[in-house]
Amino acid sequence: MCGITGWIAYDQDLTADAGARGTLDAMTRTMELRGPDAGGAWVDTHAALGHRRLAVIDIVGGKQPMLVQHDGRTQAVITYSGEVYNYRELRSELASRGHTFRTSSDTEVVLHAYLEWGEGFAERLNGMYAFAIWDARTEELLLVRDRMGIKPLYYAPTSDGVVFGSEQKAVLTHPRVPAVVDAEGLAEVLAFVKTPGHAVYKGLHEVRPGHTVRFRRGSSPAVRRYWALEAHEHTDDTATTVTRVRELLDDIVARQLIADVPLCTLLSGGLDSSAITALAAKGLGEAGRGPVRSFSVDFTGQTENFVPDDLRSTPDGPYAHALAEHVRSDHRDIVLDTATLMDRGHRRAVLTARDMPLGFGDGDTSLYLLFKAIREQSTVALSGESADEVFGGYKWFHDPASVDADTFPWIAAGVADTFGGGKSGGYAALLGKDVLDALDLPGYTEARYREALAEVPRLPGETGKEKRMREVSYLHLTRFVQILLDRKDRTSMATGLEVRVPFCDHRLVSYVFNTPWSMKTFDGREKSLLRAATRDVLPDAVADRVKSPYPSTQDPRYGEALRAELRQLAADKNAPVRQLLDEDSLSSALSEDSGSRYRGATELVLGLDAWLRGGGTELKL
């Protein structure tokens, strides 16, 4: 996995611009953590491409930017991030068509695939990827992003071209792209709704999942959708469907176990991560590469002092250990304490990785620390992320009030408020009325919901619950999952760890999306198909466990430490975030005994303040 960046300037000769290489180097340096193994740059008359590499496939030969030449002339150049899991099949097909290869990397296969099939080559790729190809023959730039949006990619059009990068920070480092956030951008941060294409910063865009964007001299960007969820009649019976899900999972996991570096799994003890770990253990064992390594996150005293709440009825530890013992994995718990979670350096690292103060508070910090510890032993990790969106695992999928509400189901279920402190009003609880009026979060959420609903593909004559559950599934697979995928990408790549997400394979996503809801819940529970498809490799206790989200520390000292920092901020009248706060709410948060009611809102305010203190970002509400 890597970081990519660069720009196109049709009205300049970049080879004659003394500052061009320095600008490219500065943009590339912002992503050193994404690619700690090597860096590269390529500059031509109108194109500058930068790359930071995390070496996973073909350690020696996969250096970038990578180019293809013919008769001494450059045909195309690529800066590439990601993994294409069917690259071996593509390589064989391309070789049969006369292509020759200098390396064994998937990057070179992708570049040759473009030269063979043109822009339509994207439909042939299976994987997670974001890359840019400069076609020197036509002087055109093509940006490509994977179907589910696992890997990020941003761009900012300029008067004579475009600036692009894996992360916002890379693009914003270019002197022609100002870092301005207006009311709509801040609303996108706070609404707990990920809008495809929205990049928060004014003038900045996200390449939408399953899309390409082509830039030509003198033309507007040409956006093309090469993949989307479609509605198809499902004709398989339940037994056949379960078998097909297992066949897909076996193939997906086998493909994603390919790596030339140490590999592991993320194991929480839930159904999703346990299924991936068990299938990985099976695949590695059959190939003589076992045992599988597995890692879990835990907090000091969490299992012993665990208190059930509305989201989590059981601690993860005992279930993770049961699965690890069942598959004989080489397992390790990463145990974190409050002092580590509250360390300002760790929280600053997360903020820098995410480019903005949104997320899950201590959940983001602990995820970053988990990945940092894993990276000491492994370079690639397989995750159970996205199974809930694919198979319908979240609690609100099964709550009629949330499903029937005329908004995003997770909003109706109060998820944002839960993470933000429940009855206090969630993330926005400490913001001033004038700020909330300017943002109009209810109106913003309503508009985004209507846009999403209008996109949903439908079967002729589909009505009632099946129609609504198709809508609910679509909303999760195109909006909610984007929040989690971005979180996982940023926190993992900030430590130089590549996280793979088997449940995002587009074949599995498309197949299960078109499976009737009655079949997805055939045993009266959540994720019926996944449970049935993998029960044979799981202990019963894990297979039957009720869904429990990613853990959050219950240590009361964490809330106390947050409140202490909030008190320091309140004493600083020059703190940049003060302009956004409601003084009465701030006083209420500081006077509360436990601080738990405003925990999420406090995490947001502290993050906003650190973001604004970081310099460069200008709020224009």
346-350 long-range contacts, Cβ below 8 Å, gap at least 24?
347/606, 347/607, 347/610, 348/610, 349/494, 350/491, 350/494
Amino acid identity of 104? S
**Angle of helix 599-613 versus helix 344-354 axis, rounded to 10:** 70
Element housing 75 (H / E): strand 73-84
**Angle of helix 481-493 versus helix 362-374 axis, rounded to 10:** 50
Unique residue bearing structure tokens 């020059």: 574
Which pair of tokens denotes residue 551?
A: 């853990």
Euclidean distance between CA atoms 599 and 469, whole angstroms = 33
588-601 core/surface letters (b: 16 or more CB in 10 A; e: else)? ebbeeeebbbbbbb
Q: What is the DSSP string of 505-546?
A: -HHHHHHHHTS-HHHHTTTSSTTHHHHHHHGGGS-HHHHTPP
Pick the catalytic residue from 1, 2, 113, 342.
2
| CB of 599 closer than 8 Å to CB of 559 | yes
Going by C-alpha positions, the residue among 549, 559, 551 that lies closest to residue 598 is 559
How many angstroms separate the Cα of 609 from the Cα of each of 27, 179, 357, 577, 614? 24, 16, 9, 5, 9
In Å, how far from its chain's centre is CA 552? 19
Going by C-alpha positions, the residue among 369, 430, 370 that lies closest to residue 600 is 430
Q: Do strands 161-165 and 2-9 pair parallel, antiparallel, or not at all (unpaired)?
A: antiparallel
Unique residue bearing structure tokens 């820098």: 352
Element housing 437 (H / E): helix 433-439
Q: Do strands 161-165 and 38-43 pair parallel, antiparallel, or not at all (unpaired)?
A: unpaired
| CB of 27 closer than 8 Å to CB of 20 | no
Euclidean distance between CA atoms 611 and 58, whole angstroms = 38
In the 3-class helix/strand/coil scheme, how is 237-292 assigned residue by residue?
CHHHHHHHHHHHHHHHHHHHCCCCCCEEEECCCCHHHHHHHHHHHHHHHHCCCCCC
| CB of 167 closer than 8 Å to CB of 190 | no
Is position 264 annotated as part of the catalytic site?
no
Order the strands of the 205-206 sheet from edge to edge. Answer: 38-43, 47-53, 2-9, 161-165, 154-158, 205-206
Element housing 80 (H / E): strand 73-84
Euclidean distance between CA atoms 419 and 549, whole angstroms = 11
Euclidean distance between CA atoms 236 and 250, whole angstroms = 19
Which residues are annotated as catalytic? Answer: 2
